[in-house]
Amino acid sequence: MFESVSWGEVLVLIVAALFILGPERLPEAMSWVGRTVRK
């Protein structure tokens, strides 16, 4: 599913999420993403 995503693109997404969500909400969002991907 994510074979074509490079580490640079992942880094850009994380930085964008940091700006959008802020540092206090980012860990909660990352855990939600992890749970969703595992399902």
Q: What is the 3-state secondary structure (H, E, C) of the chain?
A: CCCCCCHHHHHHHHHHHHHHHCCCCHHHHHHHHHHHHHC
CA distance 17 to 11: 10
pLDDT at 23: 83
Is the pTM higher than 0.75? The answer reads: no
CA distance 31 to 12: 18
Low-confidence ranges of the chain (pLDDT < 70): 1-2
Convert the pLDDT of each residue in 19-28 to its tens digit: 888 888 888 8
